[in-house]
Structure 1
Amino acid sequence: MREKLKEFLRYLRIERKLSENTIDAYRLDIQRYIDYLDNIGIRDFRFVTALTIQNYLKLLGELGLVPSSVSRNVSSIRSFHRFLADENYIEKDPSELIQSPRLPQRLPTVLSLDEIERILGAIEDNTAIGIRDRAIVETLYSTGVRVSELVNIKTGDVFLKESFIRVFGKGAKERLVPFGERAKRELLKYVNGVRPGLARKRKSKDFLFLNFKGEPLTRIGVWKLIQKYVRKADIRKRVSPHVFRHSFATHLIEGGANLRAVQEMLGHADISTTQIYTHLDRNYLIEVHKRFHPRW
């Protein structure tokens, strides 16, 4: 299947004379599509149906890709299948009737890397609460965890040496999520230098993130601190903790990360097939995170 992709890219370069940047965008889109087909057991393009493509596009949306990006993927997949049909590799083009998603008036909010840097830059790193808040923001963006998952992380769930956090998601499903070196640095500063001073024997209950009273931080508490730093950074978007999850997924996917790996890190059930969900190797997740996350 990957040989067909190479032929398609040669066709784009030689016959359609597209720029290298455009060809790279096609390559990323189709490579990710082929990875998906491989994951669901399709090894020949003749077995791809319109439903296969629709399920794939639905998965992109579920993982946080904005409609404009999904539309670009539709265009890439259509061009690829048209090429396969023209070259007689397939009898019928399954993408022929696939529609691009309508773009809603309000798109899901995704922060740019520059905006994330500005939010982090607005947090003082010379106070105990500032160090805690930097660790929170870095953890949200580096792991893509839900805010409900973040506030329930215990100190025993953080494996700093291995760069993993154990998270209990919806339905109490456990997963291990990698985090990058920048998040690791901030977590180390918080865990070793700040949390011991915040902790109170009967109040803290081994929760990782604590408020100034030594109690576990709540979802509302995280929301409030995010709002404070968004205002300080003069960002005009509506930003909630969940926006960091959208941004995490979007930046990884747009960078070329394997969809199955992103799906695993987000803790999504497999919405495209009924096959048994198999977990990916931890070392592979770290490699994907390291290669494609902008703030490793």
Structure 2
Amino acid sequence: MAFKQELELYLQFVKLEKGLSENSVVAYRNDLERYFSYLQGYKKISDLAGVTLNHIEDFLNYLVDEEMLAAGSLARNISSIRGFHEFAVVEGITKANPAELVELPKKASKLPEVLSPDEIMAMLDSPDTSTDAGIRDKAILECLYGTGMRVSELTGLEKDRLIFEIGFIRVVGKGNKERLVPVGEVAQQAIEIYIEQVRGKFMSDKDPQKAKNKVFLNQRGGPLSRMSIWNIVQKAAKNADIQKNVYPHIFRHSFATHLLEGGADLRAVQEMLGHSSILTTEIYTHVDRSFLHQVHKEFHPRA
């Protein structure tokens, strides 16, 4: 991993010089490893000199959009990033501190962005299903929108958790908590076609255990990474000519919003999303209310 040497130097500093506890050091490591992975994977940056304030702000927005971090966790990530960049300047590793002026992302206080049903359909229809990769990609997109699961839940999904005979998928979420999520016929059919026609072709003859029973595989027989899902979603958005900022988690936002717009019970949506608190799910009621206001204004004679 890029930045590995700098990270180890910084962790040694906070442990020995600042006297932080082992748990705090582990938290710093997790925060910064995710930060560096984002810089390297999404921004193609391999050294600190190339990091700018915009890159850091993009990462924090990613944490809000993709990871749905709570305000406390987001603040800790900012502290980790600020501390690291300050250390890098003091130690002469780099000349500038791009984190000096970083603030909480504005998106943190905004409603989640969603796609319209038409935009979703355009993306779901965009993969080229005459190819093996296209069949897989369509199944992935249908699964994301059809269940509202997180990307990490999708990449970790195993075959024995597909309970299609009763129309459910057993999803393992944050904190290793399990929940049953209903899956519609369209998504179910797309996943079944992928498993029957494509998954076996992707499995490695030399190392069949590489797949570890995972549903969605890359063409080398291993489980798909979060970055792979990002690329699949980006490709679908481009092919569908979607102009909005599209990322994998937007399917989850759209899933919840479209259910509420259709009249679904908030508690039911909370259960399907795997939110431990109804307060987390309630953000989508604001999206729903704005939709209702729009409908009222458009169709009510006295609006």
Range class of TM-score, shorter chain: 0.5 to 0.7
Given the alignment of the two structures, is residue 168 of structure 1 paired with residue 175 of structure 2, yes or no? no
Q: Matches of 2:256 and 2:124 in 1, distance apart?
A: 19
Higher RCO, 1 vs 2 (CA within 8 Å, ≥6 residues apart): 1
Amino acid at match of 1:199: M
Please name the residue that 1:253 is paired with.
260
Quickly say closer, same or farther: Cα 1:247–1:185, change in 2 above 3 A.
same
CA contact (8 A) 2:167 2:184 kept: yes
How far 1:202 moved relative to its partner? 2.7
Quickly say closer, same or farther: Cα 1:208–1:249, change in 2 above 3 A.
same
Quickly say closer, same or farther: Cα 1:131–1:270, change in 2 above 3 A.
same
TM-score by length of 2: 0.54
Partner SS, residue 166 of structure 1 = strand
Deviations 1:95-119 (A, max 9, x none): xxxxxxxx99965210111001111
Please name the residue that 1:229 is paired with.
236
Q: Matches of 2:172 and 2:119 in 1, distance apart?
A: 29
Match of 1:186 among 190, 195, 220: 190
Please name the residue that 2:202 is paired with.
198
Q: Matches of 2:229 and 2:268 in 1, distance apart?
A: 27
Task: State the percentage of identical aligned residues.
Answer: 51
Q: Matches of 1:263 and 1:106 in 2, distance apart?
A: 20
Amino acid at match of 2:221: G
Paired residue total: 172
Given the alignment of the two structures, is residue 155 of structure 1 paired with residue 155 of structure 2, yes or no? no
Partner SS, residue 210 of structure 2 = coil
Please name the residue that 1:216 is paired with.
223
1:65-76 pair list within 5 angstroms: none
How far 1:227 moved relative to its partner? 0.3
Please name the residue that 2:117 is paired with.
113
Q: Matches of 1:271 and 1:252 in 2, distance apart?
A: 15
Question: Structure 2: any 5+ residue segments left out of the alignment?
Answer: 1-67, 69-106, 280-303
Q: Matches of 2:189 and 2:258 in 1, distance apart?
A: 21
TM-score by length of 1: 0.55
Deviations 1:54-111 (A, max 9, x none): xxxxxxxxxx9xxxxxxxxxxxxxxxxxxxxxxxxxxxxxxxxxxxxxx999652101
CA contact (8 A) 1:140 1:150 kept: yes
Amino acid at match of 2:213: D
Please name the residue that 2:246 is paired with.
239
CA contact (8 A) 1:160 1:188 kept: no
Q: Matches of 1:149 and 1:160 in 2, distance apart?
A: 17
Quickly say closer, same or farther: Cα 1:251–1:197, change in 2 above 3 A.
same
CA contact (8 A) 1:141 1:248 kept: yes
Amino acid at match of 1:264: E
Amino acid at match of 1:221: S
How far 1:271 moved relative to its partner? 4.2
How far 1:206 moved relative to its partner? 0.5
Please name the residue that 2:76 is paired with.
none
- Flag the structure with higher helix content: 2
Quickly say closer, same or farther: Cα 1:228–1:175, change in 2 above 3 A.
same
Deviations 1:170-204 (A, max 9, x none): 11001111110100110110111111111120311
CA contact (8 A) 2:260 2:266 kept: yes
Q: Matches of 1:248 and 1:120 in 2, distance apart?
A: 13
Amino acid at match of 1:207: K
How far 1:258 moved relative to its partner? 0.8
CA contact (8 A) 1:125 1:134 kept: yes
Q: Matches of 2:171 and 2:108 in 1, distance apart?
A: 32
